[in-house]
Amino acid sequence: MAIVINNHHGLKPFPRPKRCKLPSFTQADFARSAKQAASASNFHRSLSTPCLSLASNNVGDAPNTSPRIEIVGGFGASGVRGLVVEVAMAIVSGVHPVLVPSGLGGAYYLSSRNGDNIAVVKPVDEEPLALNNPKGYVGRVLGQPGLKHSVRVGENGVREVAAYLIDHGGFAGVPPTALVKISNVAFNVNHHSTATLPMSKIASIQRFVDHDFDAGDLGMSGFSVSSVHRIGILDIRLLNLDRHAGNILVKKKNKHDSTGGDFVSERYAIGDVELVPIDHGLCLPEQLDDPYFEWLHWPQAAAPFSESEAEYICQLDPLKDAELLRSELPSLRESSIRVLVLCTIFLKRAAAAGLRLAEIGNMMTREHYGTEQSPSLLETLCYKAKVAMNNKLFDNDNDEGADEGNILQFDIDCNQSCGDVVVCPLSQRKPSKVSMLRKVPMKYPSLPSTSALVQELLVSLHEEDDNDHGNYESNCDNDNDNAGDDEDVISSNDQKVAGGLIRSISFYDTKAEHESEGMCFGEMSEEGWVLFLEHFEKLLPKVFEVRKSIRMKQRFGTSCKF
C-alpha cells in the first residue's frame, strides 16, 4: 500500500474562464440512461475541470495494482495526514469500502480492522447525476450543472474540503476533510468494460463522526444557542444551499452517564448534545443562489451573538480565506471564491451593526410565490452595486477619451470604427446605464407580493439614490409615468410604499421574461470586482439600520401599515 503525501497537491491550476454562465439543460437531460451518458458519442471530459478525472488507467509499463492514496487538496489542514494514514492502513489490511444506503450519491464507509468506522469517502464521479453514480441518478458528465444549477457535477468534493479549510479552529465543528486520489480500490464503475482495469478516483475523504442521531430525529429545544450560531455563521459564509436537518449530526455528551434508555424519549437539558455539520458539497455556488438554512426559524437563531461569536466574526479575513482556497484548492472556481468573500463581508458588517443570525439569513434568502420567486435582499444590493460599478467604469472610460456616443450606439456594425474607437460586438460592449438597470436575474412577482421588509429597505435605498443620482432619475421619468399600468394590482394600503418601490427598483421589469439565474462574479475584472465591493459596502449601513428598526416595530408594535 502506498501513501503519498506531498506539497504539490497533485493538481495543476487551470485557466479560470472570464465568464461562468452555466449552460441551460432541459428535463430530458436528467432522463438519459447510464448507457447513453457513457457512450463515446456523448461522453467527454470537461476541459474546464481537467484535475477531476473520472478514472485513469496506467499506460505503458505493467500496471501497478497495489492500493494507493494521495492527498491532492487540503494538504495544509490539520488532522488530514493522520486521517489518510489510518485509511491506508485499513485498506492494506483488507478492509473494503461499504456503500452508504442513504443519500443520492455514492458515499462509502471505511472502517478499521476492529470494525469501527473511521472515514466517509465520496468519489466525485459518483455524485448525483454523475456517470458512475451507484444509485441510478446518472445522465450528466463532469462540468455540467448538477442538482443545483450553480454547482457543477463532479465539484462537490472540492467544496467539502473548502468548508473544512475555512472553519478556522474547528469553530463550527466540520470534521477533517481532504481531497484524495485513490487507486486500485473497489468503488462503483458503471462501465463494465473497464471495471477490471486498475483505476484511480478523485474523492473527498472525511473523518467519520460517531453520533447518536441527526437533527431531524430530535426537536431543536435541546440545542444550545452557541451550537446553532456556530453552524449558522459557517453556512452564511459558504452560502450553503443545502443545510437541512439530516446533515446536522447530534452527539450526546457524557455517554457514560446514560442509563441506557432511548435517547429520543429521554429528557435532556440544553447543552447535553453537540452538533456537527457535514455534507457541504452544495455550498459556495458559482453565482448567487437561494440558500436553504434549516436553522433559520429556530429560536436560537433569533438570539443575539455572544461576545466570543462576535469576536470570531470580527477577526474573519475574507481576502485571506480566498488566498487559502486558491492555494489549497486550485480547482475551485474563482466565481465561488468571490461568493465566499462577498458573504463574509456581508456577515461581518451585519454582525457589527447588531443584526442577529436569523435576520442575516432572511436577508440572504429568496421569497417564493408558487412557481415564481423574488430576489433576496442580498441579491438586490448586489445588483445595485453592480450598476454603480458599471457606471463608474463607464465614466472612467470616458475620462480616458473614449467617445461615449459611439459606445452607446448599439446598432452600429461591430466592424465599423469611429476615429480611434472601434465599436465592439454587443456581447463585448460595456452596457449603458439604462441597459444595466433593465437586466434582472429572474421573473418577479407583482409588487403587492413583496414583503414589507423588502419594500421598506428598497424605499430607503431609493431615498439615497435621490441624493446621489438625481441626474439619472430624470432619464427614467418616462418609465415611471408608465408605472400606472400596474397600479390596478396594488391595494390601497400598499399604494404609498409600492409607489416608492416602483421608482426605487425601476430596473425590475415585472412584465419581461427573465433568466432564473443569480448574479455571477467570475466575469468581473479585478478592477471591477474591487469597485463592486466598495459600492456594495456603501449600501449596507442604511439597509442594516432599517432592518433593526423593523425588528423594533415587530417587538413593540406600531400603527404603521406595511
**pLDDT digits 0-9 by tens, 132-165:** 999 999 989 999 999 999 999 999 999 999 999 9
What is the rounded CA–CA span in Å between residue 489 and residue 42?
49
Mean pLDDT value across the chain: 74
| 66 vs 129: which has the higher pLDDT | 129
Read off the pLDDT band of 463 (50, 70, 90).
low
Each residue of 325-371: pLDDT tens digit?
A: 999 999 999 999 999 999 999 999 999 999 999 999 999 999 988 88
- Of 2-11, 27-36, 400-409, least confident by mean pLDDT is 27-36
Cell of 90: 485499513
Per the model's pLDDT, the better-predicted residue between 268 and 159 turns out to be 159
Whether residue 73 is predicted with pLDDT greater than 80 in this model: the reply is yes
Q: What is the C-alpha separation between 253 and 2, in angstroms, rounded? A: 37
* Residue 210 dihedral angles phi and psi, to the nearest 5°: -70, 120
Residue range 9-19, pLDDT digits in tens: 444 444 444 54
Query: What pLDDT, on a 0 to 100 scale, did the predictor assign at position 392?
Result: 86
Rounded to whole angstroms, how far apart are CA atoms 6 and 401? Answer: 52
Most confident of 93-107, 338-352, 360-374, 506-520: 338-352
pTM: 0.73
pLDDT of 505 above 50: no
Taking Cα atoms as reference points, which of 48, 21, 134 lies closest to residue 427? 21
Is residue 205 over pLDDT 60? yes
Q: Indicate the residue type of 10.
A: G
Residue 249 in this model has a pLDDT that exceeds 60: yes
In this prediction, residues 486-491 reach a mean pLDDT of 37
Residues 392-431: tens digit of each pLDDT? 888 776 665 545 444 444 344 444 433 343 333 333 334 4
Residue 518, burial from CB neighbour count under 10 angstroms (0-12, 13-18, 19+) = buried
Selected residue with higher pLDDT from 267 and 501: 267
3-state secondary structure of 242: coil
CA distance 477 to 482: 9
Checking if the pLDDT of 86 tops 90, the result is: yes
| 281: Cα separation from own chain's centroid | 9
pLDDT of residue 187: 92
**DSSP secondary structure of 425-450:** PGGGSPPPHHHHHT--SS----GGGS
Cα atoms found within 13 Å of the Cα of residue 326, Cβ hemisphere only: 14
